[in-house]
């Protein structure tokens, strides 16, 4: 039987009573003015960026070689 390696890693198993650690940090802020997300997507000189407004209303910019990213959401207005 042929086995293939997955590009995804299995979740790390945690030991009982292991000290907590940060996995995800979320911050919210405002630039004080409207941003043109589509123009930012075009002009940003970053290799890994994703903008698909019909799927996800945000610009996702990954920091090269890191497990970090920045997400800029489109303001949808009050509903």
Question: Measured between alpha carbons, how far is 57 from 71 in angstroms, rounded to an integer?
Answer: 10
Q: How many residues does the chain have?
A: 79
- Among 61, 56, 59, smallest CA distance to 38 is for 59
Tell me: the pLDDT tens digits for 7-53? 666 777 766 767 777 777 888 888 888 888 889 899 988 888 889 98
Model-level pTM? 0.56
């Amino acid at each position: 039987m042929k086995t293939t390696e997955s590009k995804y890693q299995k979740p790390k198993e945690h030991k009982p009573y292991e000290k907590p650690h940060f996995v995800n940090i979320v911050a919210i802020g405002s630039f004080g003015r409207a941003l043109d997300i589509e123009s930012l997507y075009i002009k940003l000189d970053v290799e890994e960026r994703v903008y698909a407004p019909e799927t996800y209303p945000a610009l996702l910019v990954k920091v090269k070689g890191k497990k970090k990213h920045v997400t800029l959401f489109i303001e949808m207005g009050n509903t």
